[in-house]
Structure 1
Amino acid sequence: MYKKILVPVDGSEQAAKAALQAAEIASAMGAEITLFHVVVPLTVIDTPSDIKELFMRENQQQGQRILEQARKRIDSYNLTVKTETASGHQAHEICKKAKDNNYDLVVIGSRGLGEIKSFLMGSVSKQVVQHADCPVLIVR
């Protein structure tokens, strides 16, 4: 049923659990997994461009470390695993990726943000459920 599974990862324990759940599903169905990390750009108005570039470069490097860590956690499943990054608003980029690349399923952790930030902004997983064009599995 599922052949392409998108797994957003942010370094949180919930994202790690989602990656493991996705690996179980992919293993049972012969699906491929894409681990996906979204780098959130610095949006402070009066920040010099060189500071913004440094911030983005550091966040992209951190994103690569997060992707590699997630890949290692599911290595034992012997699956086809891709890793990709994007920059922008997390929920928007996840939904765009899922739609543009015809993913059959998004498997996402229930909470990656801190509780206060999540309360103020709404969780990424909730936004993905509301806007994704494919089924979304939220892992607790």
Structure 2
Amino acid sequence: MYQSILVPVDGSEHSAKALGVAAQLARGSSASLTLMTVAGYPPGNMGLFTGGTPEPFTSENWNEIADSLKADAQQALKTVQDSVDLSGIEVETLVRQGTPAEGILKEAEQRGVDVIVMGSRGVSDMHGMIFGSTSHKVSHVAPCTVITVA
């Protein structure tokens, strides 16, 4: 049925449940799994967010924060991956940086995946309530089937 499944994860309980569903689908169809997480970029003007002056921070500081966000994303991916039995399944892991919905859609299109399996809610619930969830954005634009797991 499926040959390739993309599973975006963010460390939330919903993304772990989605990975469990994706693992069942993969076993049933001998599909490969690509687990990915998308780390955000640091805000353009950190001083305003930390109560400091609105002066921009240096590119070195920006890179340090970006690397820290990527490390946090990698840990979230590992946490979710370790919570599900993936034995016997071909698994690849990816960490990208950018906007989650855009990163997921880009990866799905580049890889030509058959299906995206993702949690219906993630770690940014309040942001999702205001601006729309990542799963909602992905499901409306994806070039393939999208299965959301609550």
TM-score interval w.r.t. the shorter chain?
Answer: over 0.9
Quote the offset at 1:76 in angstroms. 4.5
Quote the offset at 1:129 in angstroms. 0.4
Distance 2:77 2:33 in 1: 12
| AA of the residue aligned to 2:135 | S
Distance 1:48 1:120 in 2: 31
Question: What are the ranges of 5 or more consecutive residues in structure 1 without an aligned counterpart?
Answer: none
What is the RMSD of the two structures over their aligned residues, measured on CA atoms?
Answer: 1.3
Distance 2:124 2:96 in 1: 22
Q: Retained in 2: the 8 A contact 1:22–1:107?
A: yes
TM-score (norm 2): 0.87
Q: How does 1:108-123 map to 2 (within 5 A)?
A: 108-123=118-133
1:23 — aligned with what? 23
Q: Retained in 1: the 8 A contact 2:16–2:84?
A: no
Distance 2:122 2:26 in 1: 22
Distance 2:124 2:108 in 1: 25
- Identical positions, percent: 33
2:32 — aligned with what? 32
Q: Retained in 1: the 8 A contact 2:9–2:35?
A: yes
CA-to-aligned-CA distance 1:26-60 (integer Å, 9 cap, x gap)? 01110000100001101223232222111111111
Of residues 63-72 and 99-108 in structure 1, the stretch that sits farther from structure 2 once superposed is 63-72
Tell me the secondary structure at the aligned position of residue 22 of structure 1: helix
Q: Retained in 1: the 8 A contact 2:125–2:133?
A: no
CA-to-aligned-CA distance 1:57-86 (integer Å, 9 cap, x gap)? 111111221222222223354211100011
